[in-house]
Structure 1
Amino acid sequence: MDQSVQPRRQRTATLGQIGLQQFAPYLMNRIMGRYNATLRDEFRTRGLTIVQVRTMAVLSVIEGVTVNDLSVYTVIEQSTLSRTLDTLEAQGFVRREQGETDSRVRKLYLTDDGRAEFGRAWPAMHDAFEAMFDDIDDAEYAGFIATLQKMLKNIRKHEI
C-alpha cells in the first residue's frame, strides 16, 4: 500500500481515491479506539468504564461545569452522560450543586473520593498516552498539538 500522503483538498476525490490510511478522521477514530481498548480492561477491574473515567478526567481539570458543557468536553452524548453522572454520584465520585444565579443549573464537581479514584486511573492513562507517542520527538508532538488545536478551532467556526 502506498504510504505517501495524497493532496487533501481535491474536492472530487472519493474516499477510495484518498484511502483510509490518508483520511485523518478515520485515523483519529482508529487511534482513539485503540487507546480506549488499551484502557478498557484496566478500568473494568476497578468497576469503571471509559466514559466514567473520561468524565472524571475532565472534572479533575475543569470544576463547576454544567452538564451541557461537560458533554462537549467529554465528547459524550447528553443522555449517556446523564446516566454516567447518576452512577458516579451514587459511587460518591461526583457531586452536583445548584447554580448560584440560576437554581435550574447544576454544576458538577469531583468529590475527594472521585479525585482519588481518578488518581488511581491516571497512571494507566498516562502510560497509554506515552506509548502512543513513542518515537515522536517534542517538536513533532508540539506541531501535532498545534495542528489539532487549529482543527478544533476550524470545527467550532462551522458549528451551528
Structure 2
Amino acid sequence: MEGTDSLEKRADTTLGQVGLDQFPPYLMNRIMGRYNAAMQEEMAKLGLTTPQMRSLAVLSVHDGILIRELAVFAVVQQSTLSRGLDALAQNGLVERQPDPDDSRATRIFLTDCGREAFERLWPHMSDAYQAMFAGIGAAEKQAFVGTLQKMLKNIRKHDF
C-alpha cells in the first residue's frame, strides 16, 4: 500500500534529512516573523501589539464577530486576546457588545477610531505583503494561495 509506505518513510525521515529550507512550517514561521517585524515600527507608532494589529485587521473585514471567532481568525489565544481587547477598548478602538442571541457571549466591533487606526496601518501591511510576492507572477501567487487554503482546510478545527 502506498499510504503505508509513505507513513513508514515519514517515520524514518529526520528534520535534518528534510532540511529546514524544505520544511514548510519552518518557512511559514520565518515569513510571518519577517512580516511581523516589518510591521513593528508602524504598530509601535499606534501603540499596538501584533495580536492587537491582527484583531483590527480581522475586524476590518468581519466586524461584530464573537470573541472566540476573533481568537481563531487573529490566531491568538483567547486569554492573550482578552488582554489585548481590554487595551483596545480603553483606547477607544473597539467596543464590546453582548450577543443578542446569547447573553453569555460578547461581540467585538471596531469604533470609528479603530477603523481610522487600521486604515493608517493598512498601507504598511499592504507594502509588506507586496514585498513578499516580489518577482512572483499572478498564476504562481494564485496557486500558492490555493495551496495554503487547502492546507488550512486540512488542519482547521472550525468551519471558518
User: Fold conserved (TM > 0.5)?
Assistant: yes
Q: CA deviation at 1:27?
A: 0.2
Counterpart of 1:73, as a letter, is F
* Aligned match of 2:126: 126
Identity of aligned residues (%): 55
* Aligned match of 1:148: 148
Equivalents in 1 of 2:145, 2:25: separation in Å? Answer: 15
Equivalents in 2 of 1:106, 1:130: separation in Å? Answer: 35
1:72 maps to 2:72: yes
Equivalents in 1 of 2:48, 2:63: separation in Å? Answer: 20
Counterpart of 1:112, as a letter, is D
Equivalents in 2 of 1:146, 1:74: separation in Å? Answer: 20
Counterpart of 1:149, as a letter, is Q
Equivalents in 1 of 2:118, 2:149: separation in Å? Answer: 25
Equivalents in 2 of 1:139, 1:101: separation in Å? Answer: 43
Q: How do 1:1-160 and structure 2 match up within 5 A?
A: 10-11=9-10, 12-156=12-156
Task: List gaps (5 residues or longer) in structure 2.
Answer: 1-5
Q: Deviations over 1:57-114 (max 9, x none)?
A: 0000001211111110000011110000000000100011111121111111111110
Counterpart of 2:90, as a letter, is A
Equivalents in 1 of 2:42, 2:92: separation in Å? Answer: 20
Equivalents in 2 of 1:108, 1:143: separation in Å? Answer: 33
Partner of 2:152, secondary structure, is: helix
Normalising by structure 1, what TM-score? Answer: 0.90
Counterpart of 1:36, as a letter, is N
Stretch deviating more after TM superposition (115-124 or 99-108): 99-108
Equivalents in 2 of 1:151, 1:76: separation in Å? Answer: 19
Counterpart of 2:85, as a letter, is L
Q: CA deviation at 1:50?
A: 1.7
Equivalents in 1 of 2:51, 2:71: separation in Å? Answer: 11
Number of equivalences: 152
Equivalents in 2 of 1:130, 1:156: separation in Å? Answer: 26
Counterpart of 1:68, as a letter, is R
Counterpart of 1:145, as a letter, is V
C-alpha RMSD over aligned residues: 1.8
